Amino acid sequence: MRKNILLIIMLLITSFLLSETLRFECDYWAPFNATPDSDEPGFQVEVTKKIFEDAGYEVEYVLIPFTRALQNVASGAAHGTFGLYDAEAEANNLLLPKNNLGVGKTYFYVLQESNWGYDGLSSLENQMLGVIQDYGYDESDVDEYIEENKNTLKVQAMAGDNGLETNIKKLLAGRITVTLEDESVMNWQLKKMGLTGKFKKAGMLDEAYNLYVAFTPTRPELVEIFDKGYEKLEKSGELKKILDKYGVE
């Protein structure tokens, strides 16, 4: 009996020592992914950690600039990233699971007292648009407009983890007149800043799209582990508990 107990302990220790650490990198995009090692690291982060830790892995989540995160995941220097839509993942040769984790709805936002509304590219002509540097908005005409006018008063791109917060402050100060952001992300940031009700939607950009946790092409088995774990969390009801924590359906 004592030998069996010792064997079990040795197997557990060996398993712990051999557990692999998976590295996930992204820039701050709450509530999808937020501050590492906090009570609210983001719902995609919490789901991913639960899935892979249950499968015997350690999970490390690090905030770095978005473009560099994509490069690292593509090369295999990191194992995954958060908040990607399918075209974005395809462009960077990243792998997507069959299960999405969130739905993106991108809107133009203005101050409550504004009368402006989006009605095609021509309606942006006399506006000052605030965007996040290096983001693609999954709408070719608008992405082209941003690229053609970036670093001018017409399009002002903010970099860094506080890009959206800065754009919100610039809207309040009149330094830009409209910004473009995902609905869940905007609602989360406005709540954190105590500004709920100060802004309104001024038109939706294209259609809703699925958002995913994306993986390095060097480790395709991680996609299968994610999908199996996702379905397990969905059946147990634990997935819904995590999403409810962040007010996400």
Find the CATH number of the domain harbouring 156. 3.40.190.10
Are both 113 and 187 inside the same structural domain? Answer: yes
Residue 7 lies in a domain: no
Are both 180 and 64 inside the same structural domain? Answer: no
Are both 127 and 176 inside the same structural domain? Answer: yes
What is the residue range of 41's domain?
A: 20-102+210-245
Please, which pLDDT band fits residue 169 given cuts at 50, 70 and 90? very high
**Can you tell me whether residue 10 is helix, strand or coil?**
helix
Predicted local distance difference test score (pLDDT) of residue 150: 87
Residue 190 lies in a domain: yes
Which tokens in the block code for residue 53? 């830790």
Determine what percent of the chain is predicted with pLDDT higher than 90.
80
Amino acid making up residue 65? P
Predicted local distance difference test score (pLDDT) of residue 160: 72
Mean pLDDT of the chain: 91
Are both 186 and 198 inside the same structural domain? Answer: yes
Note the Cα 210 to chain centre separation in Å.
11
Q: Which of 172, 182, 170 is nearest to 108 (CA)?
A: 182
Q: Which of 64, 56, 65, 61 is nearest to 44 (CA)?
A: 61
Are both 122 and 184 inside the same structural domain? Answer: yes
Mean pLDDT calculated for residue range 217-241:
98
pLDDT in tens, 191-227: 999 999 999 999 999 889 999 999 999 999 999 999 9
Which tokens in the block code for residue 70? 């994509």
Q: Would you say 47 and 233 are in contact if contact means Cβ atoms under 8 Å apart? A: yes
Task: Give the whole-angstrom CA distance, residue 103 versus residue 192.
Answer: 21
Q: Would you say 201 and 226 are in contact if contact means Cβ atoms under 8 Å apart? A: no
Residue 8 lies in a domain: no
Place of tokens 């939607």: 201
Residue 71 lies in a domain: yes
Predicted local distance difference test score (pLDDT) of residue 1: 53
**Can you tell me whether residue 67 is helix, strand or coil?**
helix
Task: Give the whole-angstrom CA distance, residue 60 versus residue 47.
Answer: 13
Residue 12 lies in a domain: no
| Residue 122 clears pLDDT 60, i.e. is over it | yes
Low-confidence winner among 36-50, 139-153, 197-211 (lowest mean pLDDT): 139-153
Sign of CA dihedral 40, 64, 87, 77: negative
Which tokens in the block code for residue 81? 């990233």
Please, which pLDDT band fits residue 57 given cuts at 50, 70 and 90? very high
Residue 62 lies in a domain: yes
| Residue 4 clears pLDDT 70, i.e. is over it | no
Low-confidence winner among 6-20, 134-148, 186-200 (lowest mean pLDDT): 6-20
| Residue 176 clears pLDDT 90, i.e. is over it | yes
**Can you tell me whether residue 24 is helix, strand or coil?**
strand
83 phi and psi angles, rounded to 5 deg:
70, 35
**Can you tell me whether residue 61 is helix, strand or coil?**
strand
Predicted local distance difference test score (pLDDT) of residue 245: 94
Low-confidence winner among 44-48, 132-136, 163-167 (lowest mean pLDDT): 132-136
pTM: 0.81
Q: Would you say 141 and 83 are in contact if contact means Cβ atoms under 8 Å apart? A: no
Are both 169 and 200 inside the same structural domain? Answer: yes
Residue 130 lies in a domain: yes
Are both 151 and 185 inside the same structural domain? Answer: yes
Residue 90 lies in a domain: yes
More reliable by pLDDT, 234 or 249: 234
Mean pLDDT calculated for residue range 183-192:
94
DSSP state of 121: G
Predicted local distance difference test score (pLDDT) of residue 136: 76
Are both 216 and 171 inside the same structural domain? Answer: no
Are both 48 and 164 inside the same structural domain? Answer: no
Residue 197 zone, left/alpha/beta (φ > 0; ψ -120 to 50; rest): left
Are both 76 and 131 inside the same structural domain? Answer: no
Are both 48 and 135 inside the same structural domain? Answer: no
In the chain, the number of structural domains is 2
Burial class (CB in 10 A: 0-12, 13-18, 19+), 219: middle
Predicted local distance difference test score (pLDDT) of residue 16: 44
Are both 155 and 115 inside the same structural domain? Answer: yes
Burial class (CB in 10 A: 0-12, 13-18, 19+), 208: exposed
